[in-house]
Amino acid sequence: MSAPFKLAPLPWDDDALAPTISAHTISFHYHKHHKAYVDMLNTLVEGTPYADMKLEEIVHKTAGATDPKDKKIFNNAGQVWNHDFYWRSLTPAKTEGDATLDSAITAAFGSKDALIAKLAEAGKDQFGSGWAWLVSKDGKLSIDKTSNAETPMAKGVNCLLTVDVWEHAYYLDYQNARPKYLEAVLGKIINWEFAAQNLARENNPVRAAAE
Ligand code: MN
């Protein structure tokens, strides 16, 4: 089996986000759930034209698919992309955005605290499994939420950061208290530098195309 897709390494050690997200959660969420999506994607694309495509291309091509095989490929490809993006949205380091991100936050939400409150609300309101997102369009920020493996990226929307609100993301550390998980993650371990880089990429499409 060719296995074109790899489990991307985490940008920090397994225990680096504790106590907000424990190494125990990472041992299941990254080493089992995320890995299972990668393994399943490799199995599903074997011998198909998808085996030669980039992950983003597969997500674009299979988004909204009704064919059960393509839908299954979308679910696994979307989850691989979303998880890669989620891990990079988190950091144990104290990070700051930049002037462009800060002024976009002020313009859209009034303050960073107001943005965090809106993201937490989106995560709480997402019924069942899914994701809460900070996204940008033409430099203007907004909040989005998606179900299951859905991702704003599939609609050509520029993603700045995401929080996973599937139960597997928080149950070991917070049991059913999704709001407590959201409050801790959004207050303590968001990588604002990553969000600023993603906003800069939208503002500089030439660089985006080269990446
Ligand atoms: Mn997850």
pLDDT score of 151: 97
Kindly give the distance from the C-alpha atom of residue 29 to the centroid of ligand 1, in angstroms, as a whole number: 6
Kindly give the distance from the C-alpha atom of residue 35 to the centroid of ligand 1, in angstroms, as a whole number: 10
Kindly give the distance from the C-alpha atom of residue 59 to the centroid of ligand 1, in angstroms, as a whole number: 17
Kindly give the distance from the C-alpha atom of residue 170 to the centroid of ligand 1, in angstroms, as a whole number: 9
Long-range contacts of 149-155 (CB under 8 A, 24+ apart): 149/74, 149/75, 149/76, 149/77, 149/78, 149/79, 149/82, 150/63, 150/78, 151/59, 151/78, 151/81, 151/82, 153/56, 153/59, 153/81, 153/85, 154/59, 154/60, 154/63, 154/64, 154/78, 155/63
Kindly give the distance from the C-alpha atom of residue 168 to the centroid of ligand 1, in angstroms, as a whole number: 6
- Tell the residue number behind the tokens 């002020």, with chain if given: 106
pTM of the model: 0.94
Architecture of the domain whose range is 23-88: Orthogonal Bundle (1.10)
Q: Is the pLDDT of residue 209 over 90?
A: no
Kindly give the distance from the C-alpha atom of residue 134 to the centroid of ligand 1, in angstroms, as a whole number: 17
Question: 161-200 pLDDT, tens per residue?
Answer: 999 999 999 999 999 999 999 999 999 999 999 999 999 9
pLDDT score of 170: 97
Kindly give the distance from the C-alpha atom of residue 83 to the centroid of ligand 1, in angstroms, as a whole number: 6
Kindly give the distance from the C-alpha atom of residue 23 to the centroid of ligand 1, in angstroms, as a whole number: 14
Kindly give the distance from the C-alpha atom of residue 87 to the centroid of ligand 1, in angstroms, as a whole number: 10
Do 23-88 and 99-210 show the same overall fold?
no
pLDDT score of 204: 73
Distance CA 108, CA 142 (A): 7
Kindly give the distance from the C-alpha atom of residue 30 to the centroid of ligand 1, in angstroms, as a whole number: 8
Q: Is the pLDDT of residue 208 over 80?
A: no
pLDDT score of 203: 75
Domain layout of the chain by residue ranges: 23-88, 99-210
Burial of residue 65 (number of CB atoms within 10 Å: 0-12, 13-18, 19+): middle
Question: 110-169 pLDDT, tens per residue?
Answer: 999 999 999 999 999 999 999 999 999 999 999 999 999 999 999 999 999 999 999 999
Q: What is the DSSP annotation of 74-131?
A: HHHHHHHHHHHHHHHHB-SS-----HHHHHHHHHHHSSHHHHHHHHHHHHHHS-SSEE
Decide: 190 and 89 in contact? Cβ < 8 Å: yes
- Residue 161 is which amino acid? L
Distance CA 149, CA 168 (A): 14
Q: Which CATH number fits domain 99-210: 3.55.40.20, 3.40.50.300, 3.40.50.10860, 3.10.290.10?
A: 3.55.40.20
Provide, rounded to the nearest whole percent, the portion of the chain with pLDDT above 90.
Answer: 93
Q: Is the pLDDT of residue 207 over 70?
A: no
